[in-house]
Structure formats: C-alpha cells, structure tokens
C-alpha cells in the first residue's frame, strides 16, 4: 500500500488516538459524577481516530489514482538544514537559560542565531552581530526588569 | 451608553493610556507592514510588555496592534507588491498596479482612508451590538454554549483551505491538547503518565505562541534566499496626495464601502476566520457587483477600498464575539483573551456589565486607534517601508527572545518555556504536513469550555435529547450540520471540477 505524506500523518494520528483511547479506560470512575474523567476524551479520540482513517483512505485512493507524470515540479530549494539548525540553537538556549540566566544565554543565543542564518564575513558584520546580541539583552533587561517589573530567568550557575 | 463611551474616551486620552495605545498602534502598523510578520505574531511579541501594565493599558496596546496591523499590511502590499499580512492580500491586486502606474500615494491613501472608514463603521457595530448580543448570551445554558462551540468548530473546519478532513483533525488535535492534565470537574490527571510536567496540562498561551511563532519563523527561514518579486516601488520618494479627493473617491462609492464593511464585520463575528478571509471575500464580492469586473486587478480604486475597509471592519466584528460571548474571533483576540485571564478578568456575557469601565475603555481605544493609525502612516509610511528591509537574521532571534519572555513571564517558571519549544516543533510539523492552524487554535481555545458545558449539561439533566429539543441549542446544531454538509458538498464539487479539467486537458 503506497501512501503519501497525508496518509503517513493519518496513520500516526490514528495510532496516537488508539493508544490514548486505551489509556482512558485506566482512568478512575467518580461515584458523584454521572460521567467519569474519560468520557469527554473518548469522544475527542474516537472523532480523531475516525477522521484519521478517512484521511488515510482518501490519500490511498488519491495516490492510486494519480499518474506517475502527475508529480509536481520541484519548486525553489527550501532550507530545511537551516530550520533544523535553528531548532537546535533554540533548544540549547532554552536548556541553558536556567543555568546561565537570561542575560548571558540570550546574548549567546541572539549571536548564534544570527551566525547560523547569515555568516558574518567582515569585521563590520561581526561588530553588527555583537551589537544586536548585546543590544537585545540590554533593551529587554531595561524594559522588562527595570520598567515593567517583569522578572527574567536567573542562572543557577551565574546568579545573573 | 454614550456617557460611558465619553468617559472611556476621556480615560484613554490620558497619557497613561494614550502612550500604550500609540505604541501598540505603531507596533501594529510596523508589524503589519513587515512581510512574513502577521498581526498574530505582532500581538504575541507585544504580550510580555503588557504583563507589567494595568488591564486597560495592556488591552489598549493590544487593540492598537490589531487596528494598526490590519492597516499596516497595505503599505507593502501597495508599494512592493508583497502583502504585509494575509489580510492585505487582496489589496495587492489593485494597490500594486496602481502604484506602478505612478500613483503610489493614491494607492496607499485609498487604503488608509478605506481602513479608517471601514474600521469606524465596524466600531459602531461593536458598540451598538455587544450589549444586546451579550443579553442573548445570558439566556444560554450549558446546552446552548456546547452547541455554539460545536457550530464554531464546524464552520472553521469547513473553511480550511487544504482539506475538510484535515480541518476536522486539526480541531481534534486542539481539543486533545486541552484534555491533557487535570480533569476540570474531578481534577483526576489524564494522559500524564506519571509526569509532573504533564500533570498540570499545557498552559494556553505558550502553546499558542509556540505554534504560531515557530511555524511562521521557520517557514520564513526555509525560503531564505528566494528571489524577491521584480518591479517594486521601494524607491518611492513621496506619497503626497489630495486627501479630500481620495476620501471623495471612497465616499463616492457608498454601496461598495458599506457592503465590504458588512462582509468584514460578519467574517469577524464568525469565530477564528479573520481578516485574511474578509479581504478576499470582500474583493470577490466587489468584483461580482461591479459594472467593470474586467478592470479588477489593473489598479482600480474599488479593489483597494473593498479589501481595506473589510479587513479593518473585521476587527470590530472579532471584538464583538470576544466581548459578548467570550469566544475569540481569531488568534489575535485569543491572545487578548489570554491577557485578560492573566489580569483575572473573565470575558463573556457579563463582561460589559461587570467591567463597564474596561469595556468602554476598549471601545474608546478602538476608536482612537484609527486616527492614530492614519497619523502614523501619514508621517512614517516611507520610513516603515525602510524598516521592512530589516534582515531576518536580526528579526528572527529578537522575536524568539520575546516569545520566550512572554512564555516565562506568565508564571515565572521554565515549564511554560519548554511547552513553547515543544509546540513550536508540533506547529511547524503540522504546517509542513498541510494541517490548517485556525481550527487547531479554535479547538485549543474552546476545548475546556466545551468539556465543562458538556459535563454541566449532563449533570443538570442526563437527557441527551435536550441538545436538540432546546430551540436555540437545536438551531445551532442544525447550523453546524448544514455547515458540515455544505463543506463536504463544496469539496466534492471541487474534486469533480478538478477531475473534469484534468480530463479535458490534452
């Protein structure tokens, strides 16, 4: 059975629906409430399972009906490598936040992300990168902590 | 009512409120003008700034963003041919050709004044109808609320562009997210699998910010390096124009203005559809009613007036839904609803009565945001155009930092930031697999309320037929059914037409 992206997504969602549906039967029943905590999730999950099956079936029929020549022409190249790199940078930033604190980790994050998106080549570009990184930290610190009294994360290692 | 409105205007005219309103409108216009930055994204960025403000200051800033953003998109739509926001897509069709013909000032100002007039007419609707609609909503029991939410979701799923089934699945995913964590009636943890992280469920705003911000930024990053469209007007020196003449051009087409405004308001009132649908529909309607439909797309004023008056009127309609029913009309008002909740304010039918000062303050902010928007665009349109050339390498990290601050500052815990990242990945994956985000967001917003009203109705009377036999509830469910049938019918018709076109294509 050949499936495209929709069919695979439908199968994954169907699997998730079934797994969670099975889990609802482990939820306790409450004597004072006519329906238990699993009642509403079951409705949602059955709905999700049924629609996922429909998506898989639609996709199967579409893939079978499509001629090989009907494949879409490739569009401009998309930078999925960059997307993966940026997700990694954001994940590292969020993991470092509680240890290094907002000020240090944000400066590193803004610098790293600029570097990942557009590599600086000249000393002027490097200076601009550093200025944006430090400027973001200074402005956000002044606006949020000093003016709006919104607390930003402190680092357990740095105390900043 | 008018006395309260007058008081509201006097309150917002105080510097304490006028400054956040001005800054919000400015941020809205700039965010709206930046291609790839939507109004939702702008309001998400503004959100953390409102935490330290009082409720009316924060909501004034957000109202300013909404009004400014709805108009800001027209600057880039007319001058560089790229709509700043999806709600200005139709403005590009005639605004850009008009600007290229040597009339950039006329194109921009037709849009600005149409936005101004459409927005104020939407404001009149907002002020006059919120009270009566809230009075109707007060008659609602849990059955009616449940049915109303079902109708909202059926309509939004039906409007999903990609596929109706995907719209329904996206709705279900939104509902499923709200189910994780403690059950709202008995507080039994569901799908927590022994994890303290999952035990409390997912807070709404970090989920919303994660899904929208990451989906948007990552999609923009993917396209980095793609060529810009040719023939832009980035070098436009002046936008000066006779304002009386431009306003005369708009007021000389009263039916077009009123009908486009009406379309915008109706789309705004319908949950989770928003300005992106309003401007396209109004443009389509203007073309259908026109005596010269073949001229649309060549740079005629009708196309700009229809699009811009409808997208600003849409804001008034969206605010009606949130203030009368407590249901967000779109993602922007969903963030506003979240901001209200942070300040301990419950939106819904009693909102206008219980928080009259705040409600009339929001009306006043909405009205005053319009002249501010005109002033900002008048003074800074060309400067704003320069800002749009800010590199993504600078913009993206700053936006993400503000998203992190917004999530963290909700309750000063890192948990919300982890949720932000998790749903950032989920949002991007859903966009890449073609699932529409609007139904998901609506499911996410309404999920808790649907469950609470469903259980409350069963606890009051376990007769399930009451959902159908109570007239308002039954009527709403019938509308939901009709909406689903129409969506399926349209989908089938579209498929058949596509198949027929493929058959005749030699």
Nearest residue on chain B to A79, alpha-carbon basis: B222
Q: Are B114 and B300 in contact (CB under 8 A)?
A: no
* pLDDT of amino acid B21: 93
Q: Return the pLDDT at B373.
A: 92
Q: Which residue has the higher pLDDT, B348 or B158?
A: B348
Residue numbers in B near A150 (CB within 8 A): 48, 51-52, 405, 409
Percent of chain B with pLDDT strictly greater than 70: 92
B315-324: average pLDDT: 84
Mean pLDDT score, B411-421? 90
All residues of chain B having their beta carbon less than 8 Å from the beta carbon of residue A80 are 222
Q: Residue B55 contacts by C-beta under 8 Å, 6 or more apart in sequence?
A: B340, B343, B345, B358
Contact B186 A144 (CB under 8 A): no
Burial B385-424 (b: 16+ CB within 10 A, else e): beebeeebbbbbbbbbbbbbbbbbbbeeeebbbbbbbebb
**Mean pLDDT, chain B, as a whole number?**
83
Q: With 90 as the cut, is the pLDDT of residue B330 above it?
A: no
Q: Do B218 and A150 touch (CB under 8 A)?
A: no
What is the C-alpha separation between B124 and B117, in angstroms, rounded? 11
Out of A13, A78, A117, whose CB is closest to B169?
A13
- Tens of pLDDT, residues B90-112: 888 888 888 888 888 888 899 99
Q: Chain B window 378-407: which residues touch A at a Cβ cutoff of 8 Å? A: 391-394, 396-398, 400-402, 404-405
Task: Kindly report the nearest CA distance between residue B204 and chain A, in angstroms.
Answer: 18
Burial-class residue B163 by CB neighbours within 10 Å (0-12, 13-18, 19+).
buried
Q: What average pLDDT score do residues B147-166 get? A: 75
Scan residues 14-73 of A and list those with Cβ closer than 8 Å to B.
20, 23-24, 27-28, 30, 33-41, 44-45, 47-48, 51-52, 54-55, 58
Q: Are strands B181-182 and B189-190 parallel, antiparallel or unpaired?
A: antiparallel
Interface contact flag, B225 A79, Cβ < 8 Å: yes
Tell me, what's the pLDDT at A69? 52
> In chain A, whose CA is at the least distance from the CA of B52?
A148
Query: pLDDT tens digits, residue range B258-271?
Result: 998 988 888 888 76
Nearest residue in chain B measured CA to CA from A62: B495
Q: Which residues of B touch A13 (CB under 8 A)?
A: 169, 173
Q: Is B88 a residue whose pLDDT tops 70?
A: yes
Cβ pairs bridging A and B (under 8 Å): 164
State how far the Cα of B203 lies from the Cα of B410, in Å rounded to an integer: 9
Mutation for B interface: A51, A103, A121, most B CBs within 10 A: A51
B462: which chain A residues are within 8 Å (Cβ-Cβ)?
34
Residue B43, CB half-sphere, CA atoms under 13 Å: how many? Answer: 30
pLDDT at B235: 56
Rounded Cα gap, residues B62 and B343, in angstroms: 14
Mean pLDDT in residue range B290-294: 81
Query: Poorest-confidence range of A3-17, B44-58, B228-242, B392-406?
Result: B228-242
- Give B32→chain A minimum CA distance, Å: 22
Q: In this model, does residue B407 exceed pLDDT 50?
A: yes
Mean pLDDT within A107-130: 94
pLDDT of residue A112: 95
- What pLDDT does A55 receive? 92
Query: Mean of the pLDDT values across residues B73-82?
Result: 81
Q: What phi and psi values does residue B374 have, to the nearest 5 degrees? A: -60, -45
ipTM of the complex: 0.91
Of the two residues B423 and B231, the one the predictor is more confident about is: B423
At residue B176, does pLDDT exceed 90?
Answer: yes
Q: What is the pTM of this model?
A: 0.80
Mean pLDDT of B207-223: 86
Does the beta-carbon distance from A33 to B186 stay under 8 Å?
yes
**A31-47 per-position pLDDT tens digit:** 777 788 889 999 999 99
pLDDT, average across residues B58-62: 90
Indicate the residue of B179, B418, B433 with minimum beta-carbon distance to A44.
B179
Contact A114 B455 (CB under 8 A): no
> From the candidates B158, B179, B409, B425, which should be mutated to test the interface with A, based on the most A CB atoms within 10 A?
B179
Average pLDDT, stretch B321-334? 79
Closest listed residue to residue B357, CA positions, set B370, B345, B372: B345
Using the predicted structure, report yes or no on whether residue A99 has a pLDDT greater than 80.
yes
Q: Which of residues 147-186 of B touch A (CB under 8 A)?
A: 163, 165-166, 168-169, 172-173, 175-176, 179, 183, 185-186
Any idea which of A9-13, B228-232, B404-408, B445-449 has the lowest mean pLDDT? B228-232
More confident residue, A154 or B285: A154
- A127–B contact, CB cutoff 8 A: no
Q: Which residues of A touch B455 (CB under 8 A)?
A: 33, 35, 39-40
Q: Cα(B420)–Cα(B418) distance, rounded to whole angstroms? A: 5
Cβ distance A150 to B462 less than 8 Å, yes or no, reads no
**Cβ of B484 under 8 Å from any chain A Cβ?**
no
Of the candidates B271, B322, B263, B283, the one whose C-alpha atom is nearest the C-alpha of residue B159 is B271
End-to-end CA distance of chain A: 57
pLDDT at B505: 43
The residues with which B182 forms a beta bridge, in sequence order, are B189
B-chain residues near A147 (CB < 8 A) = 52
State what percent of residues in chain B have pLDDT above 90: 16
């Amino acid at each position: 059975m050949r499936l495209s992206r929709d069919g695979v997504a439908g199968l994954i969602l169907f699997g998730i629906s079934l797994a969670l549906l099975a889990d609802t039967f482990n939820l306790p029943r409450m004597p004072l409430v006519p329906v238990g905590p699993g009642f509403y999730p079951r409705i949602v999950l059955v709905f999700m399972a049924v629609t996922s099956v429909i998506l898989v079936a639609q996709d199967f029929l579409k893939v079978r009906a499509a001629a090989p020549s009907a494949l879409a022409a490739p569009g401009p190249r998309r930078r999925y490598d960059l997307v993966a790199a940026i997700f990694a940078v954001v994940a590292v930033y969020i993991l470092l936040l509680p240890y290094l604190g907002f000020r240090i980790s944000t400066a590193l994050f803004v610098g790293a992300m600029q570097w990942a998106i557009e590599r600086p080549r000249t000393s002027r570009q490097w200076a601009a990168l550093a200025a944006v990184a430090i400027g973001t930290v200074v402005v956000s610190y002044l606006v949020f902590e000093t003016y709006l009294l919104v607390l930003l994360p402190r680092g357990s290692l740095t105390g900043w | 009512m008018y006395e309260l409105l007058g008081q509201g205007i006097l309150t917002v005219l105080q510097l304490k409120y006028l400054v956040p309103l001005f800054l919000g409108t400015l941020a809205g216009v700039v965010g709206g003008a930046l291609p790839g930055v939507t109004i939702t994204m702008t309001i998400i960025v503004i959100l953390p700034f409102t935490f330290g403000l009082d409720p009316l200051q924060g909501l004034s800033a957000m109202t300013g963003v909404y009004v400014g953003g709805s108009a800001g998109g027209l600057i880039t739509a007319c001058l560089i041919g790229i709509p700043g926001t999806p709600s200005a897509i139709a403005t590009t069709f005639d605004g850009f050709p008009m600007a290229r013909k040597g009339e950039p000032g006329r194109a921009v100002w037709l849009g600005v004044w149409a936005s101004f007039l459409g927005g104020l007419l939407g404001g009149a609707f907002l002020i006059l109808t919120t009270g009566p609609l809230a009075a109707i909503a007060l008659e609602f029991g849990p059955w009616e609320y449940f049915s109303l939410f079902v109708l909202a979701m059926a309509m939004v799923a039906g409007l999903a562009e990609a596929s109706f089934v995907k719209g329904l699945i996206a709705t279900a995913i939104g509902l499923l997210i709200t189910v994780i964590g403690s059950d709202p009636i008995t507080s039994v943890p569901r799908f927590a699998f022994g994890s303290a992280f999952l035990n409390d469920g997912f807070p709404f705003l970090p989920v919303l910010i994660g899904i929208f911000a990451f989906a948007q930024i990552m999609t923009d990053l993917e396209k980095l390096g793609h060529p810009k469209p040719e023939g832009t007007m980035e070098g436009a020196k002046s936008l000066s124009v006779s304002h009386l003449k431009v306003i005369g051009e708009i007021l000389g087409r009263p039916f077009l203005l009123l009908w486009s405004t009406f379309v915008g308001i109706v789309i705004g009132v319908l949950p989770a559809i928003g300005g992106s649908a309003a401007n396209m529909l109004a443009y389509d309607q203007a073309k259908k009613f026109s005596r010269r439909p073949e001229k649309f797309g060549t740079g005629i004023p009708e196309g700009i007036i229809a699009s811009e008056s409808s997208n600003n009127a849409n804001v008034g309609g969206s605010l009606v839904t949130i203030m009368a029913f407590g249901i967000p009309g779109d993602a922007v008002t969903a963030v506003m609803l979240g901001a209200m909740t942070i300040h301990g304010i419950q939106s819904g039918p009693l909102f206008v009565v219980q928080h009259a000062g705040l409600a009339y303050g929001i009306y006043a902010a909405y009205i005053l945001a319009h002249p501010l928007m005109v002033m900002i665009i008048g003074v800074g349109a060309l400067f704003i155009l320069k800002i749009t050339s800010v590199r993504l390498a600078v913009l993206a990290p700053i936006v993400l930092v503000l998203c992190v601050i917004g999530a963290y500052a909700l309750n000063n815990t890192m948990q919300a930031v982890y949720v932000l990242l998790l749903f950032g990945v989920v949002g991007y994956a859903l966009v890449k697999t073609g699932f529409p985000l609007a139904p998901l967001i609506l499911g996410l917003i309404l999920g808790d309320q649907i469950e609470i009203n469903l259980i409350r109705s069963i606890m009051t009377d376990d007769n399930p037929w009451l959902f159908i036999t109570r007239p308002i509830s039954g009527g709403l469910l019938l509308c939901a059914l009709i909406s689903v049938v129409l969506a399926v019918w349209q989908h089938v018709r579209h498929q058949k037409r596509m198949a027929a076109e493929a058959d005749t294509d030699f």
